[in-house]
Amino acid sequence: MPSNKSVSDAPITQFVNCRILRDHSLQREDLWVREGKILNPEKLFFDEQGFADHKVDCGNKIIAPGFIDVQINGGYGVDFSQVTSDIKGGVALVARRILEHGVTSFCPTLVTSPPAIYKQVIPEVTLTDGGEEGAGVLGLHLEGPFISLEKRGAHPPQFLCSFEEGGMPDLLKIYGELENVAIVTMAPELANSGQAIRDLVRRGITVSLGHSMADLSKAEEAVQHGATFITHLFNAMLPFHHRDPGIVGLLTSDRLPADRTVYYGMIADGIHTHPAALRIAHRAHPAGLVLVTDAVPAMGLPAGRHTLGQQDIHIEGLHACVAGTTTLSGSIATMDMSVCVFGGCTVEEALEAASLHPAQLLGISHRKGTLDYGTDADFVILDDTLTVRETYIAGHLVWRK
């Protein structure tokens, strides 16, 4: 048929025989892609009298938005918190390998480190779009060093910091710059944290509460200052208590700003959180659940001894602990595994916890995390067991099983 498309002559691909996640449900619809974005076929039909150039038969599989991992410390031997001669190369390696898990965008995470590390690493990890070379970098997640000593978990105590006057000067003194940063995790009970939170939020950086001894009212205050995320709910915070719910209480707090949603990260490896606890959180506040891997450099590597930040880790099976202790230090479950393990809810909810919600958290859901018309064509094709079969970024196939 002759081409008389009025908007663009770029080739159009139509994915047929599939179920796509749209409007919170799996619908029997075709997915149309042009120039790296999801295309509105009705507009194409009536406005441009256009048609597809290629059709891809998906064999009745599921198409979901590409997964977004906002907490990943490394993998395949790469440790984001270590200075190497090729920091960019390390990030790129992980970016390429996580395509296998359906992750199309991620936030490389740095654990508590000395200022020297931040000053060398942060400028090197630039935002990227993602493509055949690997998943896109949305920005760094700085987990620490402004965290609680008691709740440091696997973070090295000698590098923890507190705020002097609070605010940007303290942050820049430690981090050097915040150019490539998307998320900062801190403990709100630290003095002067409020100013730091406000300054970060004003710069467009998401503030997360974690590794903290804060009670609920301190946490609510932090949300009022602008915090919108909780780092790995349940882990590294006071346990839920019925007379003082702690940070966990944010999920059902009635003292939050009306228009604010508080999101919470959960490591769904079946180890960091009991599935029943995961379900309690989910049922209390389903819209806020964000699946994260919190994967350590050992993810993807065989069992044994490896490095995370400034410490040594021991891997056995699906467990990663600080060497010589039973303290968990991140997980080695992958994002697609997490989506599968996260039972007790619908397929749509599991998929959204890995795509839509992280996109909403970072304020980018107008271009990522959904299959809405006009958004970036980053998506995964899954079979009914939610195993990733193909990964696409900007409409291009970047990985196939």
CA 168 to chain centre: 25
232 known ligand binder: yes
Residue among 24 and 46 whose Cβ is closer to another protein: 46
In angstroms, the CA 183 to CA 344 distance is: 29
The residues, ordered by sequence, that sit 6+ positions from 59 with a Cβ below 8 Å of its Cβ are 17
| C-beta of residue 97 within 8 angstroms of C-beta of residue 76 | yes
* 10 annotated among ligand-binding-site residues: no
Kindly write down the DSSP assignment for every residue of 82-97, as one continuous string: S--S-HHHHHHHHHHH
String marking each residue 185-204 x if it binds another protein according to CB under 8 A: --------------------
Is 141 marked as binding a ligand? no
Q: Is 294 a catalytic residue?
A: yes
**Is 328 marked as binding a ligand?**
yes
Which one of residues 50, 66, 136, 210 is an interface residue with another protein (CB under 8 A)? 50
Give whichever of 42 and 383 is closer to another protein, judged by the CB atom.
Answer: 42
Asked if 138 contacts 68 with a C-beta cutoff of 8 angstroms, the reply is: yes
Residue from 9, 42, 312, 384 in contact with another protein (CB under 8 A): 42
Sole binder of another protein in the list 3, 8, 45, 383 (CB under 8 A) = 45
Q: What 3-state DSSP class applies to 249?
A: helix
Element (H, E) at 270: none
Least distance from C-beta 5 to another protein, angstroms? Answer: 10
Q: Is 211 annotated as a binding residue?
A: yes
Residue from 69, 79, 269, 294 carrying the catalytic annotation: 294
The smaller minimum CB distance to another protein, of residues 30 and 53, is found at 30
Q: Identify any residues that bridge with 229 across adjacent strands, giving them in sequence order.
A: 208, 263
Sequence-separated (6 or more) residues with CB below 8 Å from residue 220: 250, 253, 255, 256
Interaction of residue 51 with another protein, rule CB under 8 A:
yes
Nearer to another protein, 43 or 203 (CB): 43
- Whichever of 20 and 380 has its CB closer to another protein, that residue is 20
Query: Which H helix or E strand runs over 338?
Result: helix 335-341
- Report the DSSP pairing between strands 304-308 and 396-400: unpaired
By CB under 8 A, the residues from 4 to 33 that bind another protein are: 4, 30
> Which run of H or of E encompasses 390?
strand 388-393
Q: Which residues bind another protein (CB under 8 A)?
A: 1, 4, 30, 40-43, 45-46, 48-51
* Residue positions annotated with a catalytic role: 294
Annotated binding site: 143, 154, 211, 232, 235-236, 243, 272, 328-330
